[in-house]
Amino acid sequence: MLEGYTGHSPVPHNDQRVVVGQRLMQAASDIFLGWTHGDVADLYVRQLRDMKMSADIASLTKKGFMQYTRLCGAALARAHARSGDPAMISGYLGSSDEVAQAIALFAEAYADQTERDHAALLTAIKQGRIQAMLDM
């Protein structure tokens, strides 16, 4: 999606590009992560469920949820930091809080949109326009 701004990727297939990026960001790569070129389409392959432990966020207290989200944010930041040159990223970001403010504004807008989308989903379920399985 950024090729119009950054030029063509040196990786020939989009699925391969995604896999290369994920491998850069993962501390321990998914052994099933891969890609293949088929007759009709390129395919991206990954493990559907990793069956690793995860927090039951519905049962967390507010304090526990805030701690959990901080840990998730730190893990995501660390993963993305692995994908680039730290000195170049630091130089690009500079010393002001402008980027942090932009990220915070985006995060708030994204959260608001997520709440609107969820409300629309619940309305569509109530009206019978879509079917939903509540317990998987």
Same-domain pairing of 3 and 40: yes
Residue 110 banded pLDDT, cuts 50, 70, 90: very high
DSSP states along the chain:
--HHHH---SSSSHHHHHHHHHHHH-SS--TT-EEEE-SS-EEEE--S--------GGG--HHHHHHHHHHHHHHHHHHHHTTS-HHHHHHHH-SSSHHHHHHHHHHHHHHHHHHHHHHHHHHHHHTTSS------
How many structural domains is the chain composed of?
Answer: 3
**Prediction pTM value:** 0.44
Residue 124 banded pLDDT, cuts 50, 70, 90: very high
Same-domain pairing of 82 and 108: no
Same-domain pairing of 87 and 69: yes
Instruction: Assess contact for 46 and 30: CB atoms under 8 A.
Output: yes
Give the whole-number percent of the chain exceeding pLDDT 70.
88
Q: How far is CA 7 from the centre of its chain?
A: 23
Mean pLDDT of the chain: 83
Tell me how far apart the alpha carbons of residues 29 and 128 are, in angstroms, rounded to a whole number.
41
Same-domain pairing of 125 and 113: yes
> Which whole number is the average pLDDT over 30-49?
77
Instruction: Assess contact for 3 and 9: CB atoms under 8 A.
Output: yes
Q: Identify the weakest region by mean pLDDT among 37-46, 48-57, 95-104, 107-116.
A: 48-57
Which range of residues forms the domain containing residue 13? 1-49
What is the pLDDT, as a whole number, of residue 118?
A: 95
Same-domain pairing of 45 and 60: no
Residue 48 banded pLDDT, cuts 50, 70, 90: low
pLDDT digits (tens, 9 = 90+) for 83-104: 777 788 788 888 999 989 999 9
Same-domain pairing of 27 and 39: yes
Same-domain pairing of 40 and 7: yes
pLDDT digits (tens, 9 = 90+) for 74-85: 888 877 777 777
Same-domain pairing of 121 and 136: yes
